[in-house]
């Protein structure tokens, strides 16, 4: 409303491609909610009428990894589930981001035992960690805004794609993928 009335007709706007692409990306994030545990209740509460996640553009949960941008890993991931998490992450098309929601996903929470993965960053690269057990919806929205700020500042050709291209041209073998630095 405001913008449409204050800008005169027949106008050309110049800006940097970076800014436009990142602005479009951050304001229309399609989510893949990988919900496992109690944090899922707070995720549902954040997506509902009181603390609305839709006003940040991140409205729709797209339950197919091919159509999603952001993967929300909500709740505890244990070793039984880890291969499926990795597979779904690999299926999401670039550019993609990962939000780890809750302490169980960030560091394993207080389940320091044989069953739980001590943080999903041992399996997939994570962009934003939202601590809390479970985090309050305001904290979740803060994490979402931080992700939006991160998207705004990064190069629009997301580095992972560039890295992949470079590694495909230069790499000697399949082990030399700089995306995943394996601990020997």
82-101 residues near other proteins, rule: CB under 8 A: 82-86, 88
Q: Which is nearer to other proteins, 42 or 95 (CB)?
A: 42
Residue 69 binds other proteins, judged by CB under 8 A = no
Which part of the chain contacts other proteins (CB under 8 A), choosing from 7-15, 20-28, 74-82, 163-171?
Answer: 74-82
Q: Which is nearer to other proteins, 19 or 79 (CB)?
A: 79
Q: Which of 61, 142, 164, 177 binds other proteins (CB under 8 A)?
A: 61
Q: Which of 22, 36, 100, 106 binds other proteins (CB under 8 A)?
A: 36
The three state secondary structure string of the chain is CHHHHHCCCCCCCCCCHHHHHHHHHHCCCCEEEEECCCHHHHHHHHHCCCCCCHHHCCCCECCCHHHCCEEEEECCCECCCHHHHHHHHHHCCCCCEEEEECHHHHHCCCCCCCCECCCHHHCCCCCEEECCCCCCHHHHHHHHHHHHHHHHHCCCCCHHHHHHHHHHHHCCCCCCCCCCCCCC
**Among the listed residues 179, 153, 151, 175, the one whose alpha carbon sits nearest the alpha carbon of residue 165:** 179
Which part of the chain contacts other proteins (CB under 8 A), choosing from 12-20, 92-100, 160-168, 175-183?
Answer: 175-183
Site track for other proteins across 112-151, x = CB under 8 A = xxxxxxx--xxx---------xx-x---------------
Q: Which residues bind other proteins (CB under 8 A)?
A: 34-38, 40-42, 44-45, 48-50, 61, 63, 75-76, 78-86, 88, 110-118, 121-123, 133-134, 136, 180-183
């Amino acid at each position: 409303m405001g913008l449409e009335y204050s800008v005169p007709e027949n106008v050309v706007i110049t800006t940097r491609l970076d800014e436009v692409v990142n602005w479009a990306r951050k304001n229309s994030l399609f989510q893949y909610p990988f919900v496992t545990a109690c944090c899922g209740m707070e995720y549902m509460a954040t997506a509902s009428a009181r603390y609305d996640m839709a006003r940040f553009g991140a409205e729709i949960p797209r339950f197919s990894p091919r159509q999603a941008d952001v993967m929300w890993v909500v709740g505890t991931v244990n070793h039984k589930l880890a291969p499926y998490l990795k597979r779904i992450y690999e299926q999401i098309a670039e550019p993609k981001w990962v939000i780890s929601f809750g302490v169980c996903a960030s560091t394993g929470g207080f389940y320091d035992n044989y069953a739980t993965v001590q943080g999903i960053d041992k399996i997939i690269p994570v962009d934003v960690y939202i601590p809390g057990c479970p985090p309050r919806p305001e904290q979740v929205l803060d994490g979402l805004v931080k992700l939006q700020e991160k998207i705004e500042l990064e190069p629009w050709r997301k580095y992972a794609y560039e890295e992949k291209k470079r590694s495909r041209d230069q790499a000697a073998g399949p082990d030399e993928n700089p995306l995943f630095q394996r601990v020997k």
